[in-house]
């Protein structure tokens, strides 16, 4: 990350400023084949890629070849086969030791809510050489509470407070459990008890009960630490149209002062920016989207910079799996922010 002589002060600052990756997952620890890697370059599909499809045939695939090749000592835009071969010569741990520090991230805020075979918070910190902190998944707390012996609501609160003592925030995947187009008010205690009993009777697997989802959300609010919400882009298990953040308006109107962070947001980044202007406690983030948009990330970032007050636009990679994603998020964010701001400067200079 050394500056070239002719680089502007703006470019130098953006290149060197340390980023907080405020929503990220672990990276792989175990070896996998090329199909695993290529499937990790597709976000939306829940099935394996078709035999004749390649994860490289996407914006993200091109961005990997463009920006990650140098970290592996190869020229920009090396072809997919060569990229894969170079990657294969290293273990996932070795890859993490290369890519994580290269991201220029000062702190990792790690959503531990899903994923086996990936680094936990301590491992991510150790491999990157930087502090990492936990973000607690509310739907995971719900499962733990349902499997505990006592009253569901009390157990939920106890588990949340215990885990949150060392965590920096909470996260909800309500978007994946029915979406936002429903009542999101806080349920009464009796409703919660009844719904919890029903869920426990059914085995308390994946939480989809609307009452318990709402209960968890409001417990997160009450905790007061930043509450992250999955918004927009994700896999097809969620109905993308039911994750439009404007459907959160009633919820936000009663959300008080707990910071709420809208994650990902594609293709609703303009709506999310509106909400960041409309509510003192709402923040926006373009993680995941920036990686998958590759060369189009700067166009997306420009739209994030429309109505959102600037201080409320946060960085994250949402990296999960290949360590490339933890690095690439930061790289594309820096490139995009630079392209957009330099464009503003150029337009103003005319």
| Residue 198 main-chain phi, psi, to 5 deg | -60, -45
Q: Does 264 bind a second copy (CB under 8 A)?
A: no
Site string for a second copy, 280-309 (x = CB under 8 A): x-----------xx-xx-xxx-xx-xxx-x
Piece of the chain touching a second copy by CB under 8 A; list 43-51, 85-93, 150-158, 159-167: 43-51
Gap between the Cα atoms of 259 and 251, Å rounded: 13
Q: Does 35 bind a second copy (CB under 8 A)?
A: no
For residue 21, the minimal CB distance to a second copy (Å) is 22
User: Using CB under 8 A, which of 244, 255, 317, 331 touches a second copy?
Assistant: 244
Piece of the chain touching a second copy by CB under 8 A; list 37-45, 122-130, 166-174, 192-200: 37-45
Name the residue among 126, 166, 131 with its Cα closest to residue 22. 131
Q: Which of residues 54-73 bind a second copy (CB under 8 A)?
A: 57-59, 62, 66
The three-point CA angle 309-167-330 to 5° equals 50
What 157-161 contacts at long range (C-beta under 8 Å, 24+ apart), as own/partner pairs, is 157/219, 160/136, 160/219, 160/220, 160/223, 161/223
What 11-17 contacts at long range (C-beta under 8 Å, 24+ apart), as own/partner pairs, is 11/338, 11/342, 14/334, 14/337, 14/338, 14/341, 15/334, 15/338, 16/104, 17/104
User: Using CB under 8 A, which of 1, 31, 50, 165 touches a second copy?
Assistant: 50
User: In terms of CB distance, is 210 or 259 closer to a second copy?
Assistant: 259
Structure tokens at 197: 């009993």
- SS3 annotation, 256-268: CCCCEEEEECCCC
Residues that bind a second copy (CB under 8 A): 42-47, 49-50, 53, 57-59, 62, 66, 76-77, 233, 235-236, 239-241, 244, 246-247, 249, 253, 266-267, 270-271, 274-275, 277-280, 292-293, 295-296, 298-300, 302-303, 305-307, 309-311, 335, 339, 344, 347-348
């Amino acid at each position: 990350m050394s500056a070239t002589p002719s680089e502007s002060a703006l470019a130098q600052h953006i290149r060197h400023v340390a980023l907080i990756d405020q929503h990220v997952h672990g990276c792989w620890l175990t070896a996998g084949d090329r199909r695993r890697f290529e499937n990790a370059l597709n976000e939306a599909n829940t099935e394996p890629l078709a035999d004749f499809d390649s994860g490289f045939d996407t914006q993200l695939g091109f961005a990997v070849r463009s920006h990650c090749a140098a970290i592996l000592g190869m020229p920009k835009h090396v072809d997919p086969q060569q990229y894969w071969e170079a990657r294969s010569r290293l273990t996932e741990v070795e890859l993490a030791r290369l890519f994580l520090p290269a991201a220029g991230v000062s702190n990792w805020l790690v959503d531990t809510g899903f994923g086996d075979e990936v680094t936990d918070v301590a491992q991510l910190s150790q491999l990157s050489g930087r502090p990492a902190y936990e973000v607690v998944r509310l739907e995971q707390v719900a499962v733990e509470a349902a499997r505990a012996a006592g009253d569901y609501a009390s157990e939920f609160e106890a588990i949340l407070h215990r885990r949150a003592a060392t965590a920096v925030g909470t996260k909800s995947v309500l978007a994946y459990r029915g979406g936002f187009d429903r009542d999101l008010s806080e349920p009464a205690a009796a409703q919660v008890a009844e719904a919890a009993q029903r869920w426990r009777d059914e085995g308390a697997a994946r939480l989809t009960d609307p009452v318990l989802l709402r209960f968890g959300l409001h417990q997160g609010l009450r905790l007061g630490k930043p509450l992250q919400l999955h918004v927009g882009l994700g896999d097809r298990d969620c109905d993308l149209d039911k994750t439009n953040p404007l459907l959160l308006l009633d919820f936000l109107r009663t959300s008080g002062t707990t910071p709420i962070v809208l994650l990902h947001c594609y293709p609703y980044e303009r709506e999310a920016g509106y909400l960041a202007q409309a509510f003192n406690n709402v923040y926006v983030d373009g993680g995941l989207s920036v990686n998958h948009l590759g060369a189009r990330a700067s166009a997306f970032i420009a739209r994030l910079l429309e109505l959102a007050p600037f201080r409320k636009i946060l960085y994250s990679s949402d990296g999960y799996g290949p360590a490339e994603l933890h690095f690439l998020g930061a790289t594309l964010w820096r490139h995009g922010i630079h392209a957009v701001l330099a464009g503003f400067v150029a337009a103003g200079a005319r």
